[in-house]
Amino acid sequence: MVGSGPELDPDDLPDGLVVADALGRVVCFNRAAARLTGVQPGAALGSGLEDVLPLEDLDGRRWWQLTDPYGGLAVRTSQPERNLLLPGGREVLVSARYVRSRPKGPVEKLVIALRGTEARRRTERSHAELIATVAHELRSPLTSVKGFTATLLAKWERFTDGQKRLMLETVDADADRVTRLIAELLDISRIDAGRLELRKQVVDLGAAVRRHVERKVATGIPEDRFDIRIGEPLTVLWADPDKVDQVLANLLENAVRHGEGTVTIEVAPAKEVVEAPVWERPGTPPRIVEGTAVTVSDEGSGIPEEAVPRVFTRFWRGSRRGGTGLGLYIVKGIVEAHGGSIRVDRAPGGGARFRFVLPAGIPDFML
């Protein structure tokens, strides 16, 4: 047998697994299946499948009689996932695969997967909230763009050059808002799929921080509001410079807009334990990361303790409205895609303190 890893224990699976033999007797019934159905594995093993899983469709029809896996079409290989009901009206998601030793041969095993509906409902709610947020965020700039362009086209000669310029600048700014929102949605899609593409280069985090602060000062923010502290020696950091800029821009913007007092940005060598990102295999142990840490803190009112667990979730905006609430979710995804970590707590001055660590990493051509 190829490979030397341990065999997979069905009880380690997050979804319910039920396997029936050629006679329809249950030969495997894992813990997740017991949790979903309320039937103990000892009572299920050796019993008939229809007795252990008396499933009905939403019209009240007995599912196994309706699908007839052992006596139905010999070309059928599976049943797609669908909502079915257990006794008492408990809803589960069920899919099945028919195992045959040869095409069109008799069913030798029936493998059934069971899932609760809670995760799907959370996903549906998240998608609905995302759609509503996107629709709301798009409506305002698009209405502005449409209004100003329609006005200019209809009454071009009535406006002065200054008025035209003001309207066109507004259209340009609103188009930028739409572009940023689309970019955020694309980032979320890639982060959720674990496919965020990184183009790694040597990145000087100290220089990147200074560059972002200079941009803030150029927009009119007083220079003395920023305190930059660079620790030495910093490790050579291989990272995606555009993605790092995205992280720094978001954290500095939050500190300036929502915080108060001095915004302190510290860059220093770091060595700490990092948890595995959510898309990696469950149970993946944490690892020690050596790299560079960036801390951004302010002296404002900070983030309420009860809100801290939600800071990096989608749509979190805190007590103040404005924005899509997607920025920090994307920031966390970018940092974790680099193999790093990010956290938030209370700064010594009372405000919010965000700290992210990026590992030293290796260039893409060495992977």
Q: Chain-wide mean pLDDT for the chain?
A: 86
pLDDT of residue 1: 38
pLDDT above 80: residue 102: yes
Residue 275 — very low, low, confident or very high, per pLDDT cuts 50/70/90?
Answer: low
Determine contact, residues 175/146, Cβ cutoff 8 Å: no
Residue 278 — very low, low, confident or very high, per pLDDT cuts 50/70/90?
Answer: low
Determine contact, residues 244/203, Cβ cutoff 8 Å: yes
For the stretch 300-314, pLDDT in tens is 888 888 888 888 887
pLDDT above 90: residue 226: yes
Looking at residue 15, what DSSP letter applies?
A: S
What Å distances lie between residue 241 and 248, 267, 276, 322, CA to CA?
10, 16, 22, 27
Neighbours of 287 (CB within 10 A): 11
Domain 12-116 falls under CATH 3.30.450.20: yes
Determine contact, residues 80/97, Cβ cutoff 8 Å: no
Percent of the chain with pLDDT over 70: 89
Nearest-angstrom CA–CA distance, 359 and 367 = 15
Burial class (CB in 10 A: 0-12, 13-18, 19+), 301: middle
Domain spans, the chain: 12-116, 120-192, 201-366
pTM given for the model: 0.62
For the stretch 252-270, pLDDT in tens is 998 998 888 899 999 999 8
pLDDT of residue 319: 55
Fold for 120-192, please state it: Helix Hairpins (1.10.287)
Determine contact, residues 18/52, Cβ cutoff 8 Å: yes
Place of tokens 């944490």: 286
Better-predicted residue by pLDDT, 287 or 203: 203
For the stretch 194-217, pLDDT in tens is 788 888 999 999 999 999 999 999
What Å distances lie between residue 45 and 13, 20, 30, 109, 159, CA to CA?
18, 9, 10, 14, 82
Fold for 201-366, please state it: Heat Shock Protein 90 (3.30.565)
Nearest-angstrom CA–CA distance, 118 and 131 = 20
pLDDT of residue 321: 52
For the stretch 28-65, pLDDT in tens is 999 999 999 999 999 999 999 999 999 998 888 999 99
